[in-house]
């Protein structure tokens, strides 16, 4: 029935069509918008939101109420400012960040790892604002992780490209009821005492540590880095995370930390199904009283105070030697301003307000559970003494004293967590990776990822 | 066919040719709207992917021409190559199990075609096709968790020793993901095969029975050969589903633990959106496309009905 189309003609048409489509464009990226130079222009006076109506575009993370609580209060104090807020899961923000910042730059955006965004000139250089508002007079460690060298490397020094709404800290939460059952009345002061508590819990039939390590998020990175901090100084780890030339994760003290973690795994201190446990499952198990310890961050302090009031304690990972310095992962809740954002001045004014306004600092502690940014002597709201929030804030002071803040080893490059730490830690749990192999594999991936940039 | 019958030469060849050519161009006119869509949404992305695969590019900044280096890496990088191997392993679960089991079930249902049970069985088997894959993935990750129904049943029958977090164990994660796929695709195959069976002339079965054939003989000599085309469709669709799998794996394991369930579809996604290696992702995508075509085409040929 059908009239047969001569194959020659249809093939020719296809070739012409594909050719025309492909020929229309040059090398990928050659026509992408190049944002204005990233060097900051000197400001004339301190930026404000003015008095005329301003609508700020925000791009925030779903599930975290703090930014919205702050923007609501800000609009109360500055009625000319309204907010258009879009929210996404953090994983979605991570994937979208470069495109959103290039195509439709928000005035204020929750940021993933920033190195590659800075490399592509997508973030506003905040040096001018820092000077105008006096951010450079705050304790330097607060903003260190948000400073980047030219082209995004190394991190930890150079110009300021982002700000924190607060800075959070990780450590070990413990269930006070279960702790009482094994006779743990005071938090362990050394790694040895910590090990003893784990063993006692195991003997008492209590899961010593509930942790997540499933899917693409290897949560065993939390205890691993905590152990790294017990065995060695935080400086070299920070250098590695900041991509300083020659830095390596494969050091003798980190090896001892990885070996220690493997001993915990082999001793059965984690749940047997830890490789199938995601973050939400870990939280529900801990709240359900199914484990003694949990390595996590103070962003859960407020939540835990609500879910198990008075029953949760917080400790910093104890050092290997008694009286040794403590260190832990501590990072700002990173927000940035798009390089081509329309209302950059107002966004910067908001960021400064968050750190310095009395009410804003109260909200930061109450809703966020973490330490506000800002000058060392700034107003601190009162927190009830028996809450875990009080515990995490006190621990923050200890870390500041010991100068023990580290960024998270998962933040070294954009892909190191999902593609390297996670599969290798999962293999370590399954007995298919050794501590030495783990560090070597991660270092190799790190090197190849840096070469790729 | 409109080809002129030999010996019956057309009266005015030139005029016929002219008319045919005019009709040909009119035909192309009708094709244009659909072709435009096809070109913009299918051909252009493929062409662009092919182009990107020759560059190193982070998706935003300037790119560097690297020729075929990305393709070389697809076959030499163990992580990338293993994901291709995993896709082939999934064929066992996504294709072999649904087709074999589907044939058996369809043959059984056909025998009880008139009963209520057949209707219930058909509905139950087809249900997975109706449920969104994401929902299926979440439901199954609960069923397969360490305290899930699967382990509870195993413990109940005294197999407590083999219970584990099926999706969190390096050796069982891929088969577990495969079983989810088999569950989803079984219904599709069964319904397709049942439809095919209803076309088989009952007289064939009657004749076979008169010749003393049993149920097995009927199945092998009549049912399976008559369903050649349907089986071809089932195998093609399920093999493509296995090679291009993404959603079930993304929801249930995200490629973990330890890359045990990493498949090319997921790898492409990670490369493009987390590692921001758009060139590598494109190269892997092109390899996957060629693989799917190279495998699907011979299946089509093999199962083509030779009588027609």
Give the position of tokens 């197999």. Answer: B159
Overall average pLDDT of the A165-193 stretch: 93
pLDDT-derived band at B5 (thresholds 50, 70, 90) equals very low
Q: What is the pLDDT of residue A451?
A: 80
Q: How far apart are CA B234 and CA B187, in angstroms?
A: 11
Nearest CB partner across the interface for A215, out of B46, B254, B275: B254
Residue A368, φ and ψ in degrees, nearest 5: -85, -25
- Chain B nearest-CA distance from A195, in A, is 26
Distance CA(A276)–CA(B234), nearest Å, equals: 32
- Closest-CA distance, A230 to chain B, in angstroms, reads 26
Q: What is the largest CA-CA distance in chain B?
A: 86
- Measured distance CA(A151)–CA(A452) in Å, rounded: 14
**A418 contacts B63? CB cut-off 8 A:** no
The answer to whether residue B14 is domain-embedded is: no
Distances (CA, A) of A58 to A104, A251, B292: 11, 41, 42
Interstrand relation of A328-336 and A371-372 (parallel, antiparallel or unpaired): unpaired
> Which of B44, B59, B256 is opposite residue A214, by nearest beta carbon?
B256
Residue B12: its pLDDT value, please? 59
Burial class (CB within 10 angstroms; exposed 0-12, middle 13-18, buried 19+) of A113: buried
Distance (Å, whole) CA A291 – CA B49? 49
- Answer whether residue B234 shows pLDDT above 90: yes
Q: What pLDDT, on a 0 to 100 scale, did the predictor assign at position B190?
A: 92
Question: For testing the chain B interface, which of A1, A5, A22, A28 should be mutated: the one with the most B CBs within 10 Å?
Answer: A28
CATH classification at residue B217: 1.10.3720.10
Mean pLDDT of all residues in B212-223: 88
Q: Tell whether A18 lies on the interface with B, counting CB pairs under 8 A.
A: yes
**Are residues B277 and A433, on separate chains, in Cβ contact within 8 Å?**
no
Lowest mean pLDDT among A71-85, A287-301, A411-425: A411-425
First-to-last alpha carbon distance for chain B, in angstroms, is: 15
- ipTM for the predicted complex: 0.82
Mutation for testing the A interface, residue in B49, B163, B170, B257 having most A CBs under 10 Å: B257
Q: Can you tell me the distance from the alpha carbon of A377 to that of A393, in angstroms, rounded to the nearest whole number?
A: 15
Structure tokens at A60: 């925030």
Residue A210 — very low, low, confident or very high, per pLDDT cuts 50/70/90?
very high
Is B109 in contact with B196 (CB distance < 8 Å)?
A: no
Q: Is A451 helix (H, G, I), strand (E, B) or coil?
A: helix
Q: How many CB atoms neighbour CB B229 within 10 A?
A: 15
**Mean pLDDT of the region A426-450:** 94
Sort out which chain A residues have CB atoms less than 8 A from B137's CB and list them.
none
Identify all chain B residues contacting A32, using CB atoms and an 8 Å cutoff. Answer: 60-61
Task: Specify the pLDDT at position B13.
Answer: 59
Residue B47: which of A18, A28, A94 has the nearest Cβ? A18
Residue B163 confidence (pLDDT): 87
Residue of A nearest to B279 (CA): A28
What is the number of H-type helices and E-type strands within chain B?
16, 2
Rounded to the nearest angstrom, the minimum Cα separation between B68 and chain A is 15
pLDDT for A38: 47
Contact B146 A414 (CB under 8 A): no
Considering chain A, what percentage of its residues have pLDDT values greater than 90?
A: 60
Angle at B68 between CA B270 and CA A19, to 5 degrees: 95
Rg of chain A, C-alpha, whole Å? 24
Q: With 60 as the cut, is the pLDDT of residue A70 above it?
A: yes
Q: Which two tokens stand for residue A119?
A: 């490399």
CATH hierarchy code of domain A54-167+332-396: 3.40.190.10
Residue B292 lies in a domain: yes
Locate all alpha helices (DSSP H) within A221-300, ordered by sequence. 221-231, 234-241, 252-266, 279-287
Phi (first) and psi of residue A165, to 5 degrees: -85, -30
Nearest chain B Cα distance for residue A337, angstroms: 18
Whole domain around residue B129: which residue ranges? 69-303
Interchain pair A18, B43: CB under 8 A: yes
Query: How wide is the angle at C-alpha B201 spanned by C-alphas B197 and B207, nearest 5°?
Result: 120
Residue B93 has pLDDT above 80, yes or no: yes
- Say which residue, A102 or A1, is predicted with more confidence: A102
Which one of A28, A119, A426 has the shortest CB-CB distance to B63? Answer: A28
Q: What is the pLDDT of residue A37?
A: 47
Give 3-state DSSP helix, strand, coil % of chain B, rounded to 5. Answer: 75, 0, 25
Q: Is the pLDDT of residue B196 over 80?
A: yes
What pLDDT, in 10s, does the model give residues A105-144? 999 999 988 888 998 899 999 999 999 999 988 888 889 9
Two structure tokens written together for B11 = 């009266």
Q: What is the pLDDT of residue B14?
A: 62
Q: Identify the weakest region by mean pLDDT among A217-221, A337-341, A412-416, B233-237.
A: A412-416
Tokens linked to A70: 């702050």
Instruction: State mean pLDDT over B156-162.
Output: 87
| For range B6-33, the mean pLDDT | 69
pLDDT at A292: 96
Does the beta-carbon distance from B51 to A116 stay under 8 Å?
no
Mean pLDDT of all residues belonging to chain B: 87
Q: Report residue A5's pLDDT band, with 50, 70 and 90 as the boundaries.
A: very low
Chain B residues whose beta carbon lies within 8 Å of the beta carbon of residue A25: 48, 51
8 Å CB contact of A427 and B257: yes
Class of the CATH-defined domain A169-330+404-452 = alpha beta
Q: What is the pLDDT of residue A3?
A: 43
Minimum Cα–Cα distance from B49: chain A residue = A22
pLDDT at A31: 59
In this prediction, what percent of chain A has a pLDDT beyond 70? 91
Determine, for residues B48 and A120 on separate chains, whether the beta-carbon distance falls below 8 Å.
no
User: Can you give the pLDDT at residue B262?
Assistant: 94
Instruction: Indicate whether B16 belongs to any domain.
Output: no
The alpha carbon of residue A312 is apart from the nearest alpha carbon of chain B, in Å, by 26
Residue B64 included in any domain: no
pLDDT greater at residue A302 or residue A85: A85
Instruction: Tell me if B57 and A29 make a contact (CB, 8 A cut-off).
Output: yes
Task: Kindly state whether residue B297 falls inside one of the protein's structural domains.
Answer: yes
Q: Which residues of chain A are within 8 Å of residue B146 when distances are taken between CB atoms?
A: 271-273, 276
Domain ranges of chain A: 54-167+332-396, 169-330+404-452
Across the interface, whether the CB atoms of B168 and A122 are under 8 A apart is answered no
What's the structural domain count of chain B?
A: 1
Closest residue in chain A to residue B144, using alpha carbons only: A276
Q: Choose, out of A13, A98, A213, A215, the residue to mutate when testing the contact with B (most B CBs < 10 Å).
A: A215
Residue with tokens 């979605």: A92
Average pLDDT for A160-175:
93
Residue B21 included in any domain: no
Minimum mean pLDDT range among A217-231, A287-301, B146-160: B146-160
CA A82 to chain centre: 28
pLDDT in tens, B44-85: 999 999 999 999 998 888 889 999 999 999 999 888 899 999
Residue B25 lies in a domain: no
In a domain, B9, yes or no: no
Of residues B37, B74, B68, B59, the one with CA closest to residue B289: B74
> Chain B contact for A116, CB < 8 A?
yes
Contacts of A171 (CB under 8 A, 6+ apart): A226, A295, A296, A297, A298, A314, A315, A316, A317, A328, A392, A395
The answer to whether residues B96 and B235 touch, using CB atoms and an 8 Å cutoff, is no
Tell me which chain B residues have a C-beta less than 8 angstroms from the C-beta of A274: 168
As a whole number of Å, the CA-based R_g of chain B is 25
Cα angle for residues A394, A398, A400 (degrees, 5° grid)? 110
DSSP three-state, residue A306: helix
Q: For residues A19-35, give the mean pLDDT.
A: 59
Q: Kindly report the average pLDDT of chain A as a whole number.
A: 88
Asked whether the domain spanning A169-330+404-452 has the same topology as the one spanning A54-167+332-396, the reply is: yes
Question: How many alpha carbons fall within 13 Å on the CB side of residue A100?
Answer: 24
The predicted pLDDT at position B7 comes to: 47
Q: Compute the CA torsion angle A323, A329, A332, A338 (nearest 10 deg).
A: 150
Residue pair A273/A285 in contact (Cβ under 8 Å)? The answer is: no
Asked if B81 and B267 touch (Cβ cutoff 8 Å), the reply is no
For a pLDDT cut of 90, what percent of chain B falls above it? 51
Q: Which two tokens stand for residue A6?
A: 């001569």
Location of structure tokens 């204005």: A36
* pLDDT for position A398: 83
Residue B128 binned pLDDT confidence (cut-offs 50, 70, 90): confident
Mean pLDDT of B11-39: 78
Contact B264, B84 (CB under 8 A): yes
pLDDT of residue B15: 62
pLDDT, tens digit, 9 for 90 and up, residues B266-283: 999 999 988 888 999 999
Nearest Cα of chain B lies from the Cα of A286 at a distance, in angstroms, of 16
Q: What is the pLDDT of residue A392?
A: 87
CA distance B1 to B282: 42
The pLDDT value recorded for residue A212 is: 94
């Amino acid at each position: 029935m059908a009239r047969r189309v001569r194959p020659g003609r249809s093939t020719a048409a296809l070739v012409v069509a594909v050719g025309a489509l492909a020929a229309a464009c040059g090398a990928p990226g050659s026509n992408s918008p190049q944002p204005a130079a990233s060097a900051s222009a000197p400001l004339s006076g301190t930026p404000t939101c003015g008095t005329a109506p301003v609508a700020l575009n925000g791009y925030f993370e779903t599930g975290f109420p703090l930014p919205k609580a702050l923007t609501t209060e800000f609009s109360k104090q500055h009625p000319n400012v309204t907010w258009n807020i879009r929210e996404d899961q953090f994983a979605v923000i991570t994937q979208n960040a470069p495109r959103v910042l290039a195509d439709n730059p928000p005035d204020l955006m929750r940021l993933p790892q920033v190195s590659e965004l800075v490399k592509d000139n997508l973030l506003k250089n905040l040096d001018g604002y820092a000077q105008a508002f006096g951010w450079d007079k705050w304790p330097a460690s607060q903003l260190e992780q948000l400073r980047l060298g030219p082209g995004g490397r190394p991190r930890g020094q150079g110009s300021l490209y982002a700000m924190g709404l607060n800075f959070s800290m990780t450590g070990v939460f413990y269930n006070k009821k279960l702790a009482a059952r094994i006779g743990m009345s005071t938090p362990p002061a050394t790694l040895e005492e910590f090990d003893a508590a784990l063993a006692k819990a195991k003997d008492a039939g209590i899961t010593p540590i509930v942790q997540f390590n499933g899917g693409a998020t290897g949560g065993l990175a939390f205890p691993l880095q905590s152990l790294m901090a017990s065995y060695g100084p935080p400086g070299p780890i920070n250098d590695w995370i900041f991509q300083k030339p020659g830095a390596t994760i494969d050091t003798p003290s980190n090896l001892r930390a990885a070996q220690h973690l493997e001993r915990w795994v082999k001793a059965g201190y984690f749940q047997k199904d830890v490789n199938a446990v995601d973050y939400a499952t870990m939280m529900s198990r801990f709240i359900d009283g199914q484990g003694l310890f949990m390595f996590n961050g103070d962003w859960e302090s407020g939540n835990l105070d609500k879910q198990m009031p008075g029953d949760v304690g917080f400790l910093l990972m104890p050092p290997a030697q008694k009286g040794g310095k403590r260190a832990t992962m501590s990072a700002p809740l990173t927000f940035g301003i798009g390089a081509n954002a329309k209302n950059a001045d107002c966004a910067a004014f908001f960021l400064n307000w968050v750190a310095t306004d009395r009410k804003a600092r109260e909200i930061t502690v109450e809703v966020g559970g973490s330490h506000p940014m800002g000058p060392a002597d700034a107003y601190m709201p009162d927190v009830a003494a028996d809450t875990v929030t009080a515990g995490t804030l006190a621990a923050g002071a200890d870390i500041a004293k010991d100068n023990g803040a580290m960024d998270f080893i998962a933040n070294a490059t954009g892909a190191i967590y999902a593609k390297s730490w996670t599969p290798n830690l999962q293999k370590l749990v399954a007995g298919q990776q050794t501590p030495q192999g783990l560090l070597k594999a991660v270092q190799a991936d790190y090197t190849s990822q840096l070469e790729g940039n | 066919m409109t080809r002129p019958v030999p010996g019956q030469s057309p009266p005015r060849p030139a005029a016929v040719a002219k008319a045919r050519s005019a009709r040909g161009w009119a035909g192309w006119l009708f094709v244009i709207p659909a072709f435009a869509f096809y070109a913009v949404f299918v051909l252009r992305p493929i062409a662009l992917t092919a182009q990107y695969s020759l560059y190193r590019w982070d998706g935003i900044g300037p790119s560097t021409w690297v020729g075929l280096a990305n393709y070389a890496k697809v076959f030499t990088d163990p992580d990338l190559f293993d994901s291709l191997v995993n896709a082939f392993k999934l064929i066992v679960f996504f294709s072999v199990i649904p087709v074999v089991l589907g044939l058996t079930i369809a043959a059984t249902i056909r025998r009880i075609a008139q009963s209520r049970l057949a209707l219930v069985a058909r509905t139950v088997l087809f249900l997975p096709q109706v449920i969104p894959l994401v929902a299926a993935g979440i439901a199954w990750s609960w069923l397969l968790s360490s305290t899930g129904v699967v382990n509870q049943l195993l413990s109940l029958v005294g197999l407590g020793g083999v219970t584990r977090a099926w999706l969190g164990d390096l050796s069982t994660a891929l088969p577990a993901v495969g079983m989810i796929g088999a569950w989803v695709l079984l219904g599709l195959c069964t319904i397709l095969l049942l439809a095919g069976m209803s076309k088989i002339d009952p007289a064939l079965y009657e004749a076979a029975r008169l010749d003393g054939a049993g149920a097995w003989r009927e199945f092998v000599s009549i049912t399976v050969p008559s369903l050649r085309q349907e089986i071809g469709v089932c195998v093609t669709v399920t093999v493509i589903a296995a090679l291009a799998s993404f959603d079930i794996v993304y929801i249930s394991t995200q490629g973990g633990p330890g890359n045990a369930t990493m498949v090319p579809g997921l790898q492409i996604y990670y490369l493009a959106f987390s590692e921001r290696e758009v060139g590598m992702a494109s190269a892997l995508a092109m390899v996957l496309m060629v693989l799917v075509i190279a495998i699907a085409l011979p299946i089509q040929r093999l199962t083509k009905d030779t009588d027609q």
